[in-house]
Structure 1
Amino acid sequence: MIKKFRRKLSIHHIKQNQESQETPLQEDLQANVTTVRSHFGFTSDLAVRTFWLGANQSHQASLLFLKGMTNQDVMDRDVIRPLMNTIGDLHEGMVDHIMNAVLHVSMAWKESTLEKTLEQLARGYIVLFIHNQAQCIIIGAKSLGQRSVEEPSKEAVIRGPREGFIETIDTNLSLIRKRYHNPNLQIETYWIGTQSDTRVCLAYVRGVVKEELVDEVRKRLSVIKMDAILDSGYIEQWIEDEPFSIFPTIYNSEKPDILVAKILEGRVAILVDGSPVALMVPATFQEFFQNPEDYYSRPFYASFLRLLRYAAFFVSAFLPSLYISFENFHKDLVPPTLLFSFINAREGVPFPLPIELLLMAIVYEWLREAGVRMPRPIGQAVSIVGALVIGEAAVSAGLVGAPTVIVIAASAITSFIFPAISDVVVILRFVSIFVASVLGLYGNFLVFYMVAIYLCDLRSFGVPYLAPLAPLKLQDWKDFFIRFPLWLIKLSSGGSPSSLKKQKGERS
């Protein structure tokens, strides 16, 4: 705590020193233009447009902008043309007159320091310098290329909204506002990164979220000290509770409907400019087994699928190690017919069963990584055909047994059911294989108990990670293993987990 306070204090002193060392703009037009160009290193994409103001050409002015980041039509039509055709005396209150009566743009403000001017120019704004004026006008006419709003490939649904976040934070905020028309939705903006100065926004619902949670998120953001924030993953690694945990304590999604549902439960969302992935805190283990489609369809089949997801987690993580345990240590627990099938299938295989499973698991991870990194049309063929060809060839050559291929394939396929924690399952799979190869079934139980104890102790922004299982809160079980009808969930828990709800009498 003392270290965090010292870091915040040092950052505060740095900001104060920076404010005290701000350089004022000069009245000479050419001096200002030369100074700005020198700070940008005379880069070729910095354009300067010099012209005369008004019909009487009484004052000279210059527009500075970065090519490719400015809307040329808006600049020509609503900035340059009005400035060159304006009529009247521009000596008294020239800057205010231009902002209030000449420019045809919605965003325009004055700056009088060089540092603020350079910052806004780097963000894509237009800077207007006027001769004999020791201040400039910042004009908003940005035009940044962006991809269209489309369905996220990792969170596809059959029924439900298909819009996903993109890399532009203003568009992402509009997608949130589109779904939640309420003034209680609060957006707070921060600029993080000593070099990149990246825009980071907090989104939460006033009156629903706990103020202690919002204060904790603000405090953790305030201690981030990096040169650049290029993605929300940078923020996640700075603010998570357990940096060395294999289990994620921060939920992430690319769908605005999921984000709105989370903040209505009392969570805080974090959006980063340049990243389509939004973060939501706190997070619990059960959320990674929930699908947004569970709430858009009727509860019966949705509950059945949710139970299958929980079962798939154990199959993906522990099926290879269980196969080792029953094959090598506990043959008496396997039906004789099945045991003879396993023995006959592995006859002539030169490797011990643990080595055989490890080799197949590693080969599968190679194929999956190749399929992800290669171009999409080729990657699909590599991942599917490669697995079939290599598996069939390995069995035919007698390098591995057919049951080994089946076990690895089953554990690999089930890991795709919960992509948000697929990396956790892979780590648990390899760990359980190593332990089971030494201790057998007792090793499986040992790994499972250690993971369960660790999860019981894990927290996400003060919320127990295994809630509502540990601690036990039966009122929240209506959206845990199975999903009750929405009207019953709403009546019983107010639509949010009890660990996140504001209690009666708590200050809003």
Structure 2
Amino acid sequence: MRRWPRDIDNKDSNSLKEDIGKYYLTKPLQENINLFKNNILKLDDTVIYREFKNKKGDLKFCLIFIDGMSDREIINENIVLPLMKEDLNDQLNNIVDYVKEEVLIIDDVIKTDEIEKILKSLLYGDTLLLVDGFNEGLLLNTKGWQTRAIAEPPSETVVKGPREGFNESLNVNTSLIRRKINSPSLKFQRKEIGVRTNTKICIIYMEGIVNTKILEELTNRLDKIDIEGVFGTGQIQELISDSPLSPFKTIGNTERPDVVASKLLQGRIAILCDGSPMAITLPYLFIEHFQINEDYYDNFIYASINRILRVVAFIITVATPGVYVAFIAFHKELIPTKLALSIYAAKQGVPLPTVIETLLMIIVFEIIREAGLRLPKHIGAAVSIVGALVLGDAAVNAKFVSAPIVIVTAIAGICELILYEMNSGIIISRFIFLILASLLGLYGVIFASMGLILHLMSIKSFGIPYMLNLIDLDKYNIRDAGIRAPWWLLKYRTKFIARDKVRSKNYINRRNRE
């Protein structure tokens, strides 16, 4: 048993962390109090030290907790009050165990003397109970910080389906998922990442359905994370991604518990991070960009039409500016005569080449879009609409750009907004298409298309091909790819992702009989 070194003030932060893992509590109560007050948690006015005595046993106690992280009502009524009133004279030899088992009205109590373990629990809202003459303390679950109420997620508009979204509390978020999947196969594994923040995360999966190789790979990648602080799932997403340099994300994210629950049943894995309302899911396939939660609450015909429209919108937003520049600069003879004359008349007096016009208008559109997102909600929409109308009309009247360019840019921009979660990949791909089209015409568009397809084919998400549902034309995989088949046909999970492919109880029973 090692006591805390007296020269701790002269040690750096790394040595301090090593010392915390080596030392333990001692028997004198005042020494333990001084250990926290003058060394470990010194100069921290949020730490509360509540010393008191037992009326009948004359025993000295001390409670240590952090103001704002712990629930004072629980501390006063379930800890302080019972300890003051209980007759402890007959339990002096085994007072700590007696208090733990028969006095405290707390659902979670841990006995320990390890300073490292105590410090982690204190910083996360627990309370430490010290007893004079004993070198072991009790860690009491008194977490009680304020959390944001459960509300509709602002980043995912809900038309049909549940209107509850995650908040910043890890415990609340796990309970939301537990309410969706009432099964003992639903598993939660907690870890801590971040050298200084010790951020708590939770890995969620369905035992018996999840691919164990993917789960092992995820655990290995999380264990290798070496970063000072983690404040959200976005950092984790970047650190464990297969292709961090690709503009297309290989890990999904959502604020909706029903979306996470649905993906868990498909064999995917979810990660929640304390302090973040966003969950990440993996593996993530390219086709999932076009699948939204509303597809599974609408009629399958309407959902399939909308999904096809999203695929068309992706092609339009990426290729339209480049195709327009290619036709105007290299292939005028392919444009219908009346349309060519109209475009030629609109370009009269415009000093800039077509490719420069297009580049400038796309950049302006992205600036307006970003401004609309960052401004307060009550003025963001107005600024976006007024900015687009006023600037577009003024630019055309001033002969700074031609009217067809404004139309092309607006169509591409609107289609981009439909697929907002893919905006980085869309923006970069659109510029590549535009530059190659300005150099090689339609050949440039063809080369850009080939390059985009090859890039998407080369990406993997935790060993699963990114384009799986588009290159593997398995009859069960394609039923929930470009279209959504009716529910009675969705009997199987996606190939390679889930260990157990069968989703229907009748199919499982039939398979067992066979």
The TM-score bracket by the shorter chain reads over 0.9
Matches within 5 A, 1:309-324: 309-324=310-325
User: Structure 1 pair 20/68, CA: closer, same or farther in 2 (3 Å)?
Assistant: closer
Say if 2:502 is the partner of 1:501: no
For 1:262-285, what per-residue CA distance to the aligned partner results, in whole angstroms no more than 9, with x for missing partners?
111111111111111111111110
**Aligned residue identity for 2:193:** I
TM-score (norm 1): 0.92
Say if 2:473 is the partner of 1:472: yes
Is the Cα contact below 8 Å between 2:494 and 2:501 reproduced in 1?
Answer: no
Structure 2: segments with no counterpart, 5+ residues: 1-13, 503-514
Which range is displaced more, 277-286 or 34-43? 34-43
| SS of match in other structure, 1:271 | strand
| SS of match in other structure, 2:277 | coil
For 1:207-265, what per-residue CA distance to the aligned partner results, in whole angstroms no more than 9, with x for missing partners?
11121111111111111111111111111111111111111111111111111111111
Cα deviation, residue 501, structure 1: 3.3
Matches within 5 A, 1:364-383: 364-383=365-384
Is the Cα contact below 8 Å between 2:20 and 2:115 reproduced in 1?
Answer: no
| SS of match in other structure, 1:230 | coil
Is the Cα contact below 8 Å between 2:194 and 2:230 reproduced in 1?
Answer: yes
Corresponding position of 2:66: 66
**Aligned residue identity for 1:164:** G
Corresponding position of 2:22: 22
Say if 2:452 is the partner of 1:451: yes
RMSD, aligned α-carbons: 1.8
**Aligned residue identity for 2:495:** S
Corresponding position of 1:157: 158
User: Structure 1 pair 233/321, CA: closer, same or farther in 2 (3 Å)?
Assistant: same
Corresponding position of 1:11: none
Give me the whole-angstrom Cα distance separating, in 1, the residues matched to 2:255 and 2:244: 22
Give me the whole-angstrom Cα distance separating, in 2, the residues matched to 1:78 and 1:441: 75
Give me the whole-angstrom Cα distance separating, in 1, the residues matched to 2:412 and 2:234: 27
For 1:339-359, what per-residue CA distance to the aligned partner results, in whole angstroms no more than 9, with x for missing partners?
111111121111111111111
Is the Cα contact below 8 Å between 1:468 and 1:474 reproduced in 2?
Answer: no
Is the Cα contact below 8 Å between 1:467 and 1:473 reproduced in 2?
Answer: no
For 1:271-330, what per-residue CA distance to the aligned partner results, in whole angstroms no more than 9, with x for missing partners?
111111111111110011001111111111111111100000011111111110111111
Corresponding position of 2:88: 88
Corresponding position of 2:118: 117
User: Structure 1 pair 458/504, CA: closer, same or farther in 2 (3 Å)?
Assistant: closer
Matches within 5 A, 1:90-489: 90-489=91-490
**Aligned residue identity for 2:117:** K
**Aligned residue identity for 1:129:** L
**Aligned residue identity for 2:444:** G
Give me the whole-angstrom Cα distance separating, in 2, the residues matched to 1:297 and 1:203: 27
User: Structure 1 pair 262/57, CA: closer, same or farther in 2 (3 Å)?
Assistant: same
Give me the whole-angstrom Cα distance separating, in 2, the residues matched to 1:120 and 1:380: 45
Cα deviation, residue 157, structure 1: 2.3
**Aligned residue identity for 2:35:** T
Is the Cα contact below 8 Å between 1:464 and 1:471 reproduced in 2?
Answer: no
Give me the whole-angstrom Cα distance separating, in 2, the residues matched to 1:73 and 1:196: 27
Give me the whole-angstrom Cα distance separating, in 1, the residues matched to 2:33 and 2:143: 20
User: Structure 1 pair 504/443, CA: closer, same or farther in 2 (3 Å)?
Assistant: closer
Is the Cα contact below 8 Å between 2:56 and 2:86 reproduced in 1?
Answer: no
Give me the whole-angstrom Cα distance separating, in 1, the residues matched to 2:21 and 2:161: 53
Corresponding position of 1:76: 76
TM-score (norm 2): 0.91
For 1:54-110, what per-residue CA distance to the aligned partner results, in whole angstroms no more than 9, with x for missing partners?
x22522111111111111111111111111111132412111111111111111111
Is the Cα contact below 8 Å between 1:26 and 1:32 reproduced in 2?
Answer: yes
**Aligned residue identity for 1:78:** N
Cα deviation, residue 18, structure 1: 5.3
Cα deviation, residue 502, structure 1: 2.2
**Aligned residue identity for 1:461:** F
Cα deviation, residue 20, structure 1: 10
**Aligned residue identity for 2:68:** G
**Aligned residue identity for 1:258:** V
Corresponding position of 2:6: none
Corresponding position of 2:11: none
Which range is displaced more, 370-379 or 192-201? 370-379
For 1:374-416, what per-residue CA distance to the aligned partner results, in whole angstroms no more than 9, with x for missing partners?
2221222222211111111111111111111111111111111
Is the Cα contact below 8 Å between 1:345 and 1:401 reproduced in 2?
Answer: yes
Structure 1: segments with no counterpart, 5+ residues: 1-13
**Aligned residue identity for 1:88:** L
Is the Cα contact below 8 Å between 1:149 and 1:164 reproduced in 2?
Answer: yes
**Aligned residue identity for 2:229:** A
Give me the whole-angstrom Cα distance separating, in 1, the residues matched to 2:299 and 2:60: 68
**Aligned residue identity for 2:81:** R
Give me the whole-angstrom Cα distance separating, in 2, the residues matched to 1:240 and 1:150: 29
**Aligned residue identity for 1:497:** T
| SS of match in other structure, 1:132 | coil
Cα deviation, residue 503, structure 1: 6.0
Count of residue pairs the alignment pairs up: 485
Cα deviation, residue 147, structure 1: 0.8
**Aligned residue identity for 1:34:** N
Matches within 5 A, 1:42-61: 42-53=43-54, 55-61=55-61
Give me the whole-angstrom Cα distance separating, in 1, the residues matched to 2:296 and 2:221: 32
Give the ranges of 4+ consecutive aligned residues of structure 1 lying more than 6 Å apart after TM superposition.
none
**Aligned residue identity for 2:99:** I
Give me the whole-angstrom Cα distance separating, in 2, the residues matched to 1:296 and 1:73: 43
**Aligned residue identity for 2:63:** L
Give me the whole-angstrom Cα distance separating, in 2, the residues matched to 1:166 and 1:65: 25
